[in-house]
Structure 1
Amino acid sequence: MKKLLNKRIIVGLVGVIAVVAFFSFKNGDDRNFQLAKNLDIFNAIVKELDMFYVDTIDPNKTIREGIDNMLLSLDPYTEYFPEEDQSELEQMVKGSFGGIGSLITYDVKMKRSMIAEPFENTPAAKVGLKAGDILLEIDGKDLAGKNNAEVSQMLRGEAGTSFKLKIERPNEKGGRTPMEFDIVRESILTPPIPYSTLMENNVGYISLSTFSGNPSKDFKRALLDLKKQGATSLVIDLRNNGGGLLDEAVEIANYFLPRGKVIVTTKGKIKQASNTYKTLREPLDLDIPIAVLVNSGTASASEILSGSLQDLDRAVIVGNRTFGKGLVQVPRTLPYGGTMKVTTSKYYIPSGRCVQAIDYKHRNEDGSVGTIPDSLTKVFHTVAGREVRDGGGVMPDIVVEQEKLPNILYYLMRDNLIFNYATQYCLKHPTIPSPEKFEVTDADYEDFKAMVKKADFKYDQQSEKILKTLKEAAEFEGYMTDASEEFTALEKKLNHNLDRDLDYFSKDIKPMIASEIIKRYYFQRGGIIQQLKDDNALKAALKILNDQAKYKEILSTPVAKK
């Protein structure tokens, strides 16, 4: 009944409220009449439900669901933030929020949240919270049954406010030790440059994690520092960088491009939404060779930076196709402390293309949206005449196939077995070698395997599922009699064998264990160092930067085919 109620409310909402906040129309205009008419209908429906519906409705919940579903019928990025959710919006825009500075995860068996990763130099790390700490109470309020979002909201608050946190910490004896902490919240800033270093052959490396806040200043410092150390080429890592502020992307692009270059153009319905963004300052380095690492998590402002450097033939892009977010949002103030992040324009990078991939205007019958097929994308050209396409993110100049993780690894992580092993490992090892030198030994891995077996670990094998489906199809189509022996033999070969799978996939599981352990001692920076040890995309970037002839060939005017 509730679903039916929500659907009826949504019908009254669709296409109404969002537009009213921004546009006005002439008296007597049919569009103006339709807006007023539907708002009256919606208002009447809510009042009638409140008075006559058999159960008491929660106006906040009912209307919020209606608003969310109305906005969902538009594009994926237009969102409403009521007054109590402003900290979430602030984090998106400023890259900061009031809190303790820690990721939390949920333990399904205990039905409680626990500390997953405290960030360096934050209140969580300063008071001594550790990964694996189980969250029991906040200011005396029991957290049992609360999900991660609810617990996270309780941990956040204004910088300078304090609270008492009660936890249980796993101990070496296999039990849990209760502990209490008095924590003062601080303004938590997501580090825009979690790691930078000088690699072999004088290649500088900068990991840029966000465009929120003011990352261009941190990037400039890291770049100049690397150049002082002797960097003669540069890797910019934008993988899993979901974007942020457009101006910051333009500013960083300006470090490598001449003054006066058009980086991005926005086009919207109203004049204020249409702008051209150019480089305004003198560059820092016009000649340093650059490779930019991207993947499917590279989005928005990250695509502006990588796409503009590609369109202007200033960098070689390496990795996987980017996410494809070609829309721009701005916050609009609403009554009662609310804010709406609304899509006001599309953006176009120097070649003239828009990288928007999700075709939100053409929905499937079930309301879902797909991506624009490659066959419908259009060809554009870089300054040098190289072909690039719109409608599907930024396609790298050098594509590096993303490694597929084995099925067993997903279940080991889902059941927190790698996480729990790292917690126990840290109890036995007060210190470990530096991230560059640390490795999971064969003895460590045997301990991990023993823990997994003791936990009665179960996981789905895709091959068994597919075989079962094939067997059912063979029986349905009458082939089973002739193929029964072959199926029996195949079933024996695909028999579930945990020992065999843990050994066979050890090369994939060991690095994940190492990463989880290293982060306990060296935080986010250590995790990145571990990731880069055997990174195929980084290897491809280093290879092209160390082959200047090939580098220049990729960025040069294509030779006409005879």
Structure 2
Amino acid sequence: MKRLTKRSHIVKLLVGLVVGVLFMAFTFVKDDFFEIGKNLEIFSALYRQVSMTYVEDVNPNLLMKKGINAMLEELDPYTEFVPESDLDDFRLRYINTQYAGLGAKIVSLEDKSIQIAEIFEAYPAHKAGLEVGDEIIRINGQAVKGMTSEDVSHLLKGEEGTVIELGIKKNLTGTLENIKVIRQNIIQPNVSYSTTLPGNIGYIKLDKFLTGAADEVRKAILEMRRTAPLKGLVLDLRDNGGGILQESVKIVNFFVRQGQEVVFQQGRHGDNRFTYITKQAPLALQLPLVVLINERSASASEIVAGALQDLDRAVVIGKKSFGKGLVQQTYRLPYNNLVKVTVAKYYTPSGRCIQALDYAHKDNRGKAIKINDSLITEFSTVNGRKVYNGDGISPDIEINEQAQSMIVQELKNKFLISGYANQYYHKHSSLKDLQSFRLSDEDYSDFLTYLSAHNFTYSTRSEKALQYLRSELEKESRSEQVADELKVLAQKIRSHKNRDLVLYKEYIKGQLEEEIASRYYFQKGRYRVALTKDEATKKAQQILAATDMLVYNNVLSGKGNYHIIGKPKVHLASAEPLNN
């Protein structure tokens, strides 16, 4: 009897605890709903009052959009409102790159003119004889100078099979032409290039993880295998900003066993967790694999690189990745609008989240701060290698790409590299061997003449800093006191600047060679030339082509310097090792 009474008390106590927890949860939810409802009423009344009584005419749609955007900016850059008018662009960026248009990229220049920046092979723009550098003057009789490139892009798109009439100013001759083009469905592939490198090393350049990305990677692997058995594979995720999470899971699935956890996402509440597991038999379980990343590899790219690193399935080469460990979900809103909301953080198989910025905590300028050092934790891969959270994916082998200098950036921004490529293309009927194509010193001298003819000038960062210093000194009435020193400094800066075209000659030649190759062989030509000079790809080939695979095996087993990957210089906590 006493035992029954005691058990009854325990049951009552447990029931009381459950009821208490449920009551507290209900109270919190009720309070949240009350605050949301109250603020909606306030906002609705304010919006109506301002729209109806403000002294000047108000555009209600614009006012609402700005208000919403200002509110979402307080959260993170990935939570965004998508009005109905922007749905097509949204789909192109995040879902599917198929649209009906001409197959050309355009840019807006400093003088507000619209120029063709790239032509896609075998699409309407190419078939109609349009070329990079041609200026679009009119679209269906409407002048476009002064419009944004986004607005012009909308005009170029339309229904498949419809005719569009363009007024074009040809780049080299300056003649005006009216050209009729029939819009066609344009598909920008996720895999922009694939090839078999010397030594039977496969190479795949994956630009994004939109619809069909995994199928394109599978197709590329199978196509290369038809030619000859692959000794290894390089998956290039550099400059890949991500896309659809599920596509990244499918791609990891090609290289790991069925039933393997690839990534899990965790929302605000403890029960809001979802784990992504491989569902298919692998396509290339034993194929040696290298993944290339850089500082612009983000999100889904980091899931692939991080999962394969945690599972000791691939050697990661390049530079530390971007550090985006946040998951977004899209919700429908009334009147065909959308909102994309950050709903969770994702974690690689070892349990690390690679998110680098803490958007919940910002500095006095409103900028998100780096993840706090106290939250940086050490995790373990399957083979016991040490990896870390809170700052992207660190490569197993780091390759420092040459930073783009100011002069190269200016040459690109002013379209002088592109312009010279056009001139070269019209002077030379063909390029016979892309693998060995190199510009001669005579060609580079010709390029310098081209720059002189186009009055090329630019301001270095140091010149801009010096100009700022001058203006500050003038405000303080001190410029005369240091006038001689400033003059000497300006002369030294100018002297160094004048040597830039010599100092960066080889890098500039490389950029010219890639651009020229694209005139003859489009994007494929650009990649073929670029790969012959790319240090990260060369390193991957060297590792995969080695007879003993010594470096490859040492990295994945964590021998020597490969045991600890990207250790930050902070005091660390430790997580449980990954058992698999």
Q: Tell me, yes or no, whether TM beats 0.5.
A: yes
CA contact (8 A) 2:161 2:183 kept: yes
Q: CA deviation at 1:524?
A: 1.2
- Superposed, which structure 2 residues align to 1:416-455 within 5 Å? 416-455=415-454
Q: CA deviation at 1:283?
A: 1.2
Structure 1 Cα separation of the partners of residues 57 and 381 of structure 2:
61
Structure 2 Cα separation of the partners of residues 179 and 272 of structure 1:
63
Which amino acid in 1 is paired with 2:38?
K
2:288 aligned residue: 289
1:93 aligned residue: 95
Taking a change above 3 Å as real, the CA distance of residues 274 and 89 of structure 1, as seen in their structure-2 partners, is: farther
Structure 2 Cα separation of the partners of residues 375 and 408 of structure 1:
41
1:196 aligned residue: 194
Which amino acid in 2 is paired with 1:224?
L
CA contact (8 A) 1:266 1:345 kept: yes
Q: CA deviation at 1:123?
A: 2.2
1:549 aligned residue: 550
Structure 2 Cα separation of the partners of residues 179 and 125 of structure 1:
15
Taking a change above 3 Å as real, the CA distance of residues 25 and 434 of structure 1, as seen in their structure-2 partners, is: farther
2:459 aligned residue: 460
CA contact (8 A) 2:460 2:497 kept: no
Bigger CA drift: 309-318 or 552-561?
552-561
2:502 aligned residue: 503
Which amino acid in 2 is paired with 1:456?
N
CA contact (8 A) 1:363 1:369 kept: yes
1:16 aligned residue: none
- Superposed, which structure 2 residues align to 1:529-540 within 5 Å? 529-540=528-539
Measured on the aligned residues, the alpha-carbon RMSD in Å equals 2.9
| Matched position secondary structure for 1:94 | coil
Structure 1 Cα separation of the partners of residues 274 and 384 of structure 2:
25
Please state if 1:407 is matched with 2:409: no
| Matched position secondary structure for 2:175 | strand
1:155 aligned residue: 156
Please state if 1:213 is matched with 2:211: yes
Q: CA deviation at 1:140?
A: 1.2
Structure 1 Cα separation of the partners of residues 272 and 336 of structure 2:
24
Q: CA deviation at 1:487?
A: 8.0
CA contact (8 A) 2:420 2:447 kept: yes
Bigger CA drift: 152-161 or 460-469?
460-469
- Superposed, which structure 2 residues align to 1:90-489 within 5 Å? 90-91=91-92, 92-109=94-111, 111-171=112-172, 175-228=173-226, 229-269=228-268, 274-372=273-371, 376-464=375-463
Structure 1 Cα separation of the partners of residues 145 and 465 of structure 2:
39
2:61 aligned residue: 60
Q: CA deviation at 1:306?
A: 0.9
Structure 2 Cα separation of the partners of residues 467 and 69 of structure 1:
35
CA contact (8 A) 2:231 2:544 kept: no
| Matched position secondary structure for 1:194 | strand
| Matched position secondary structure for 2:532 | helix
Taking a change above 3 Å as real, the CA distance of residues 472 and 169 of structure 1, as seen in their structure-2 partners, is: closer
Taking a change above 3 Å as real, the CA distance of residues 428 and 471 of structure 1, as seen in their structure-2 partners, is: same
1:7 aligned residue: none
Q: CA deviation at 1:511?
A: 1.2
CA contact (8 A) 1:435 1:522 kept: no
2:22 aligned residue: none
Structure 1 Cα separation of the partners of residues 83 and 149 of structure 2:
19
Q: CA deviation at 1:200?
A: 2.0
CA contact (8 A) 1:258 1:283 kept: yes
CA contact (8 A) 2:138 2:166 kept: yes
CA contact (8 A) 1:330 1:341 kept: yes
Please state if 1:31 is matched with 2:32: yes
| Matched position secondary structure for 1:423 | helix
Question: Structure 1 length as normaliser, TM-score?
Answer: 0.87
CA contact (8 A) 1:385 1:558 kept: no
Taking a change above 3 Å as real, the CA distance of residues 348 and 79 of structure 1, as seen in their structure-2 partners, is: same
Taking a change above 3 Å as real, the CA distance of residues 45 and 470 of structure 1, as seen in their structure-2 partners, is: closer
- CA deviation profile, 1:469-499 (whole Å, cap 9, x unmatched): 89999999x9x99x99998776654434776
Taking a change above 3 Å as real, the CA distance of residues 382 and 498 of structure 1, as seen in their structure-2 partners, is: closer
CA contact (8 A) 1:117 1:520 kept: no
Bigger CA drift: 455-464 or 141-150?
455-464
Q: CA deviation at 1:280?
A: 1.1
Taking a change above 3 Å as real, the CA distance of residues 232 and 34 of structure 1, as seen in their structure-2 partners, is: same
Report the number of matched residues: 531
CA contact (8 A) 1:273 1:344 kept: no
| Matched position secondary structure for 1:324 | coil
Q: CA deviation at 1:331?
A: 1.8
1:19 aligned residue: none
CA contact (8 A) 2:294 2:319 kept: yes
Taking a change above 3 Å as real, the CA distance of residues 497 and 306 of structure 1, as seen in their structure-2 partners, is: closer
Q: CA deviation at 1:160?
A: 3.5
Bigger CA drift: 432-441 or 503-512?
432-441
Structure 2 Cα separation of the partners of residues 161 and 358 of structure 1:
46
Structure 2 Cα separation of the partners of residues 471 and 321 of structure 1:
38
Q: Percent identity?
A: 39
Structure 1 Cα separation of the partners of residues 73 and 540 of structure 2:
39
Structure 1 Cα separation of the partners of residues 65 and 267 of structure 2:
27
- CA deviation profile, 1:349-383 (whole Å, cap 9, x unmatched): 10011111121111122222233266642111101
CA contact (8 A) 1:159 1:187 kept: yes
Taking a change above 3 Å as real, the CA distance of residues 373 and 112 of structure 1, as seen in their structure-2 partners, is: farther
Taking a change above 3 Å as real, the CA distance of residues 466 and 71 of structure 1, as seen in their structure-2 partners, is: closer
Q: CA deviation at 1:313?
A: 0.1
Structure 1 Cα separation of the partners of residues 429 and 124 of structure 2:
21
Q: CA deviation at 1:387?
A: 0.7
